[in-house]
Structure 1
């Protein structure tokens, strides 16, 4: 069993509230638009991190993190990238990558819109944790946490970090 904290679109922002949730996870996954390495370094001091770079990330972050990662954990095949689209509206690169890796869990960021949706066409769970940072049009900062165990994705929870303008 692994407890996962999933966040995205921090845009150089990390605070004690996010770090409190990091401490409760076994692993932290970041779906891009990190902003600066202080964000990921803060997380890595506490827990293991898997991350991809996003469109706002500079060459330094792009050197440390890939565009896309795929891996298997607790019997769940995972594919994560930053810009992807949504079920029925994936970009071409994403469609090809999904076909190649056939994940059970597909993760992206970019839109700042939290979404958890089953994709029937690709037989996978599509997840976007929204935005944990303060930059963007989102009104509420969000993350997700869930458990991977014996090939199953369980106990998915939305974490609301507060209204963006009040943080």
Structure 2
């Protein structure tokens, strides 16, 4: 069993709960808009990091990381990029690339909107956007994910609300 920490859109902000909330993960995936190389250094103190650059990242991040990463972790084929769009509304050219060689999991950011879903049209690919862990943007809740991988399959995803006291209240059945 392997546990991944997934985040995106830190925009130069290392949330004070981030290290604790990702403690114990085997690897951290940062899907771009890092904002400051110190963010990656701080994450490396928690676990090994694989990252891509996003549209706000300058040359210091772009020299260290690629725009796209395709790799295998615990048997899971992962493709990570910052701007991919979303199922049904892919970024120009992304839909064709995914259709030609779909990964088991696509991780992206950019929208600041937390979204996890299976895409039946792409061999049940798992689409993951961990939302945004930084302060900058329209999002109101800072999030990241913990994802469990076993035998090449993502088996469990847990949303981490970095500011638990400001998370939306659960819906009631009343």
Normalising to structure 1: TM-score of the pair? Answer: 0.93
Aligned counterpart, 2:105: 105
Aligned counterpart, 1:136: 137
Aligned counterpart, 2:119: 119
Within-5 A mapping of 1:9-20: 9-20=9-20
| Residue 88 of structure 1, CA deviation | 1.3
| Residue 126 of structure 1, CA deviation | 0.6
Aligned counterpart, 1:79: 79
Provide the aligned length of Structure 1 versus Structure 2: 164
Structure with more of its chain in helix, by fraction? 1
Distance 1:96 1:63 in 2: 27
1:70/1:101 contact within 8 Å kept: no
Larger Rg: 2
1:79/1:98 contact within 8 Å kept: no
Aligned counterpart, 2:22: 22
Q: CA RMSD in A?
A: 1.4
2:15/2:133 contact within 8 Å kept: no
Structure 1: where are the runs of 5+ without partners? none
1:79/1:101 contact within 8 Å kept: no
Distance 1:100 1:38 in 2: 36
Aligned counterpart, 1:37: 37
| Residue 94 of structure 1, CA deviation | 1.8
Q: SS at the partner of 1:40?
A: helix
Normalising to structure 2: TM-score of the pair? Answer: 0.89
